Amino acid sequence: MTLSVPRIAIIGGGPGGLYAAALLKRLDPGREVTVWERNAPDDTFGFGVVLSDETLGGIEHADPVVYEAMQSDFVRWDDIDIVHRGVRHTSGGHGFAALGRRRLLEILHDRCRALGVDLRFRTVAPAGLEETHDLVIAADGVNSTTRERHSHVFRPYVTPHHCRYIWLAADFPFDAFRFEIAETEHGVMQLHGYPYSPGASTVIIEMREEVWGAAGFYEVTPQESTESCAKIFAEALRGRPLRSNNSTWTTFRTVVNDHWSHGNTVLLGDAAHTAHFSIGSGTKLAVEDALALAASLEEQPSLEGALAAYEAERKPVVASTQRAARASLEWFENLGLYLDQPPRQFAFNLLTRSRRVTHDNLRLRDARFTGAVESDFGCAPGTPPMFTPFRLRALTLRNRVVVSPMDMYSATDGIPGDFHLVHLGARALGGAGLVMTEMVCVSPEGRITPGCTGLYNGRQAAAWKRITDFVHAQSPGTAIGVQLGHSGRKGSTRLMWEGIDEPLPDGNWPVVAPSPIPYKPSNQTPRELGRAQLTDIREQFTAAAWRAARAGFDLLELHCAHGYLLSGFLSPLTNRRTDAYGGSLAKRLRFPLEVFDAVRGVWPQERPMTVRISATDWAEGGNTAEDAVEIARAFAAHGADAIDVSTGQVVAEEHPEYGRSYQTPYADRIRHETGVPVIAVGAISSWDDVNSLILAGRTDLCALARPHLYDPHWTLHAAAEQGYDGPGVVWPDPYRAGSRRPQTGRTDAPKPRLTLGT
């Protein structure tokens, strides 16, 4: 039953607002639907609009008249061309559909008029619409006045970014979606171009703010900008001019709102959210918003319920799209990092930048292109990238999968027992190239909880040797590494499942830190470490490293992340010292580097050492990605063989930006800016993610935690699912009979061949 909403006001006559008007009027012809648009009917900014098959399917189902009108004007193509340093690589099978933005508006105008929608152009929406109408839809764009007027309720967050861009057009059609890179005397510039009609293409020119300024674009007229861009990209444009349509240079801003409705007013399209144009989602999201809002009004018994349902449906979809758009945006912002990649790997990196197109997905679209990238990378025929070897000093890992350190909180007196033997042994049998222990503590006071393991006495070392001996004997070719750390101010807390980071109800031990700042108000205030205590702790690390070497570990990782002791020195939020160990980043690095040097001095030279860092504190005033690069560079200069790049957990008031593979951009940046190998972590959950990240050159190794809790044989199963049976992964002889997927129920029932009419 259609909800009674007799009078609807729509502010903004862009595609989202117009399509919402058409849908709502079509669903209930008795409604009074009015659209206020301050511009003229034929005013439009930008040129072409790209829509996905998924969005088009929704339009076709909801309004076949609009779909058919659009269908007749679509330009379709399958290829993406990437041109860099004079070399063009083409990837096919992508499937795009575009049409002119002005033509799209004409179609929607005609449909609205045919349905009886009142379109009021050159008219600013009057104040007080929420009092005279039952529903007000604010589709008034990125600079929404409605959103700003009620900002105390919508709570918008508007984030500017680092590139300038301008929308232009060329009077000829590209034969593919084209990305072209220009390395100029002022810096790197890029062209994004695609056809939108048989005789025209959209052309977007983008560059970092500092490049834009150095090139003098801030002091020339729009026409001069257009002419300069045409000269810079003359080859891509075949010597033809560019034209503008009131085009100006602008900076993209990401818009996020905590809430999308206020009373009977609701946000739609760019007023509610924005997603960078490099993934072509602005109009797509607005049209999908309109579809969801109209459906919610049909399905819910009250306006309040309908607006809540609309927001609940759209927010997760938009958030996912914005994460992909943010990844794409930042890839182009940091384009200069990738210029020296091999040409085909550069192209693959660009194509997979948003993490929505993956290795497996791209292989389905264009097996020839993907196979060429794999061959350039060094993959033997039939070998997925994740099963290529990687060397650190004298240690060669047979594949790129790492079982990430995971605290088990299951030790007694710091001694790993049968649980640890089974836990780590099972994952070693599961095929990963490297299995890491949990954080192994260097002293009783350095434990996080009473259940943490240690390496501060001989009994613990002997118990660890039992585990390394099992791994080496039963899973030959699998390496096992130890992560050494000290809990610092996050120590003396309960087991994770009893209250993570909460102090013990009794039996607490004193905790120490660079500065006397408790992790949370409920935690102990740590004692600030003096010079003598620093020396003692450094010696505890070296003694633990010496025991680790005798216990047979193949690799040692120094834990300088997640707010534990050494991480506490690195972050300005937790290190307020005024002596030689606090202040500038160089001083904050001093003690962690002293510990690293001492450990490296006793750790066998042929065995590698890695360092785990938190690449951002996710908190204002904390370490940033730029700081992480310098931290990584410092450890590499002291002999670190790889940097294990995590984020956060340094302060309780952090605000992480969670999402699939959300930490990998930090590893990517460190790898390309420092040249040191990296281990990427953070919500990497599929073998397709691993292949994509490795082949794109964003990381050297991938560490996975929760997937290995879900499936100890994750790597073996990844090989089976990809049909791989080579040296990069070895099934233990007793398990080899299980190297094929078990049969499931029958799925090949005969399909109907004939449908009879009635």
Q: How many CB atoms lie within 10 A of CB 530?
A: 11
- What SS3 string covers 339-351? CCCCHHHHHHHHH
Residues 6+ apart with CB under 8 A from 51: 70, 97, 98, 283, 284, 287
Query: Using CA atoms, how far apart are residues 701 and 527, in angstroms rounded to an integer?
Result: 37
Q: How many CB atoms lie within 10 A of CB 650?
A: 26
Q: Is the per-residue pLDDT at 154 higher than 60?
A: yes
Confidence of residue 747 (pLDDT cuts 50, 70, 90): low
Q: Is the per-residue pLDDT at 743 higher than 80?
A: no
For residues 71 and 640, the model is more confident at 640
Per residue in 389-442, pLDDT tens? 999 999 999 999 999 999 999 999 999 999 999 999 999 999 999 999 999 999
3-state secondary structure of 126: coil
Strand partners, 7: 32
pTM score = 0.91
Closest CA to 357 of 646, 86, 80: 80
Q: Is the per-residue pLDDT at 188 higher than 50?
A: yes
How confident is the model over 220-232, as a mean pLDDT?
95
Catalytic positions are 564
| Residue 546 burial by Cβ neighbours in a 10 Å radius (0-12, 13-18, 19+) | middle
Per residue in 264-280, pLDDT tens? 999 999 999 999 999 87
Q: Is the per-residue pLDDT at 87 higher than 60?
A: yes
Per residue in 113-150, pLDDT tens? 999 999 999 999 999 999 999 999 999 999 999 999 99
Confidence of residue 746 (pLDDT cuts 50, 70, 90): low
Strand partners, 482: 556
Per residue in 536-549, pLDDT tens? 999 999 999 999 99
Query: Using CA atoms, how far apart are residues 683 and 50, in angstroms rounded to an integer?
Result: 30
DSSP 524: P
CA dihedral (426, 430, 434, 436) in degrees, to 10, reads -30
Greatest CA separation for the chain = 92
Q: What pLDDT does 737 receive?
A: 85
Q: Is the per-residue pLDDT at 755 higher than 60?
A: no
Q: Is the per-residue pLDDT at 748 higher than 90?
A: no
User: Alpha carbon of 730 to those of 118, 433, 727, 736, 737: distances in Å?
Assistant: 69, 10, 6, 9, 12
Place of tokens 């330009």: 75
Per residue in 473-502, pLDDT tens? 999 999 999 999 999 999 999 998 888 889
Q: What pLDDT does 749 receive?
A: 53
Per residue in 342-391, pLDDT tens? 999 999 999 999 988 999 999 999 999 999 999 999 999 999 999 999 99
Residues 6+ apart with CB under 8 A from 49: 15, 98, 99, 100, 101, 104, 196, 283
Helix (H) or strand (E) holding 136: strand 135-138
DSSP 428: H
Produce one character per residue of 322-332: b if its CB has 16 or more CB atoms within 10 Å, e if not: bbbbbbbbbbb
Confidence of residue 751 (pLDDT cuts 50, 70, 90): low
